[in-house]
Amino acid sequence: MAAAAGSGGGSSWKRHIVRQLQLRDRAQGGRFLDLVQAYTKLLEKSSLLVHFTEKLQAESFDLQAPRLGWEASDSGLEPALGSTEGLHALKMKYQGQIAELKDVSGELAYRIIELNKLLKAKGCQLEEQKTRLASLNGRISELEAERQQLEGRAEELGRGNSARKEEYDALRERYRLCEGELRRAAEREYELLERLVQRKAEAAEYQNKKNERVKQAQLSRELKKATKRTVSIDVEPDKVKPEEVTAPVQELVELDGREKLWKRPFRSASATSVTLAQCVDVFKGFLDFRLKRGNSISSVSEAHYRCMPVCLVACLPSRVSDVQEAHFSEVNAVKFSPSSNVLATGGTDRLVRLWNVAGGRLESRQTLEGANGSITSIEFDPSGCQVLAASYNKAVQLWQIRDCKSKETLTGHADKVTAAKFRSTRHQAVTGSRDRTVKEWDLGKGACCRTINVVSYCNDVVCCDNVIISGHHDKKIRFWDSRGPRCTEVIPVEGKVTSLHISQDQMHLLCCSRDDTLKVIDLRMNNVRQVFRADGFKCGSDWTKAIFSPDKSYALVGSSDGSLYLWNMESGKLEAILSGEHRASVNAVAWCFSGHSVVSVDQGRKVVLWK
């Protein structure tokens, strides 16, 4: 069987070679088939020519024989003459045939020459084809070797990729475990920090109580020493003023324990005497009153906070009161002070200008210099004594208004700072930047106390009590708890967020986006409550600012055509369109806290005061 298989295998490759040779002969013979046929015809004509030549030679020999007979014969001229005419006619006939054959042979010779040339050309072409075939066979061999080499390399790379994938899977699993450990460690750290803060608070409270008990015990001992004898007061009746004595006594008695110790003022020495217990109670009440006043925080700024105007009903702007060219180039930001009598504007000329607002006019007050980039955001502190401005030079500038000096420069962002806002106090601030971070700052130290990393550009930020809200380029609004490290809520919107504004009662948030809409978000439910849009309103830039009115009755924003659009919060309808003064896109608007004035700024350097 093996021998049969071997013989069968040998015959198969022989048949394959024979088949290949036949295919090659058929392919190459087809190219020279016309030449072979022409050559065959030429051979046939050559043989015919040889046949005619031999026939002519035989006929010429036959003609020579009668001529010889005529010469040998001496009688009979007419037969000789008759044969001579026949020979002459035959000669002419054959000469004509010879001429024709010569022509045919010449033509055939010419065709033979042409066919020889064609044969030589075909031979050269065949040689070229053979050479090309040999080169192609060599190229095929090289490519085959290269293919085998690449297959080996691909196998090696496949094995390497498999090993890398195994390593990647192992590293990913390790990363997952490490991330879990890190999360647990962070949670434990947060719990430990809370416990530490709680224990510190408990220790401080215990120490305060202990100090208070020590002070009260010491005061009691001193009072006991001072009250071993009876205390009497001698006052002449005409020098006693009841209104001057009654007020402090009644105040001390009310602060002590909600029970009046004296129901009437001192009248005379005989009518007035104070026992030891009453004296101790009075001093204790007075001490508690002083301690309470000592624990309270009061300053000039708090007194100034109480002077902030309160808007009950905002006045709708209807006419232009004043127009100023505030800056040398585009104006990006505008803000009223808490007292509503000072206005701040900032532009791409790197300046912050302060204006007095009085009598429906804008009067230039002073210029704050020191920023090294275009101003993108302006904010007053709650007292109105400081101005915080964000700029394109990756920094935030803090100025004192009274001395026009730069108090602090906050650096740490890696890209343009787009927003800067004060927290609930003048000592804390929050900034947002295009470096995808939101930072919290301690203005007393001038240092960043927390950095929040986000996946998208931050265009604006606002602050509640314990929540930071940021609007981003990826069409999302994010909520951050200042007491925790994570994002607590994400609200998607239809367009890139350009600005955020929170109402004074911190219950609603106004969002302006590049889909040419304003959205009112209910912060109690964290959902979109209203959507404002209007024909003709176009959001002009990525930093267009929209605001609530001070009484939260209206929403105001500027459009790319220079108009101001005002919506009614209660009805949700477009209340008014203010136009005619701006010739460029309106970047920002501001509504004073008293509700009487509105200011708008545009890309054409104008500041417009509306009444």
Q: pLDDT digit string (tens) for 563-572?
A: 999 999 999 9
Does position 59 have pLDDT exceeding 70, yes or no?
Answer: no
In a domain, 184, yes or no: no
Same-domain status, 494 and 358:
yes
Q: Which amino acid is at 402?
A: R
Distance CA 289, CA 250 (A): 13
Residue 533: give the domain boundaries: 320-610
| pLDDT at position 62 | 59
| pLDDT at position 500 | 96
List residues bridging with 399 in a β-sheet: 387, 406
Same-domain status, 428 and 485:
yes
| pLDDT at position 79 | 44
Same-domain status, 327 and 428:
yes
C-alpha closest to that of 543 among 432, 412, 411, 409? 432
Determine which of 52-61, 124-133, 427-436, 539-548 has the lowest per-residue pLDDT on average: 52-61
| Most confidently predicted of 212-226, 250-264, 365-379 | 365-379
Average pLDDT over residues 375-392: 92
What CATH number is associated with residue 442?
Answer: 2.130.10.10
Per the prediction, the chain carries an average pLDDT of 80
**347 phi/psi in degrees, rounded to 5:** -140, -175
Same-domain status, 458 and 344:
yes
Same-domain status, 256 and 326:
no
Determine which of 92-96, 102-106, 227-231, 410-414 has the lowest per-residue pLDDT on average: 227-231
Same-domain status, 341 and 451:
yes
The beta-carbon contacts of 203-212 under 8 Å, at least 24 apart in sequence, are 212/291
Tokens 């050309």 correspond to 121
b (16+ CB within 10 A) / e for 419-456: bbbbbeebebbbbbbbbbbbbbbebeeeebeeebebeb
In a domain, 446, yes or no: yes
Residues of the chain with pLDDT > 90, as a percent, come to 41
In a domain, 117, yes or no: no
Residue 46, exposed/middle/buried by CB under 10 A (0-12, 13-18, 19+)?
middle
Count: domains in the chain:
2
Write out pLDDT tens, residues 316-339. 898 999 999 989 999 999 999 998
Residue 586, exposed/middle/buried by CB under 10 A (0-12, 13-18, 19+)?
buried
**392 phi/psi in degrees, rounded to 5:** -80, 0
Same-domain status, 263 and 341:
no
Residue 403 tokens, joined: 């001395």
Q: Which amino acid is at 262?
A: W
| pLDDT at position 309 | 58
Does position 4 have pLDDT exceeding 60, yes or no?
Answer: no
Same-domain status, 503 and 442:
yes
In a domain, 412, yes or no: yes
In a domain, 448, yes or no: yes
Q: Tell me the whole-structure pTM to 2 decimals.
A: 0.52
Write out pLDDT tens, residues 8-25. 556 788 888 888 888 887
Q: Which amino acid is at 290?
A: R
Same-domain status, 483 and 439:
yes
Are 436 and 443 in contact, with CB atoms under 8 Å apart? no
In a domain, 557, yes or no: yes
Same-domain status, 283 and 324:
no
Q: How many residues does the chain have?
A: 611
| pLDDT at position 370 | 84
In a domain, 325, yes or no: yes
Same-domain status, 435 and 326:
yes
Residue 85 tokens, joined: 């005419």
List residues bridging with 500 in a β-sheet: 511
DSSP state of 316: P
3-state secondary structure of 445: coil
In a domain, 244, yes or no: yes
Confidence of residue 60 (pLDDT cuts 50, 70, 90): low
| Most confidently predicted of 138-142, 248-252, 404-408 | 138-142
**307 phi/psi in degrees, rounded to 5:** -90, 0
Q: How far apart are the first and last CA of the chain?
A: 114
b (16+ CB within 10 A) / e for 109-129: eeebeebeeebeebeeeeeee
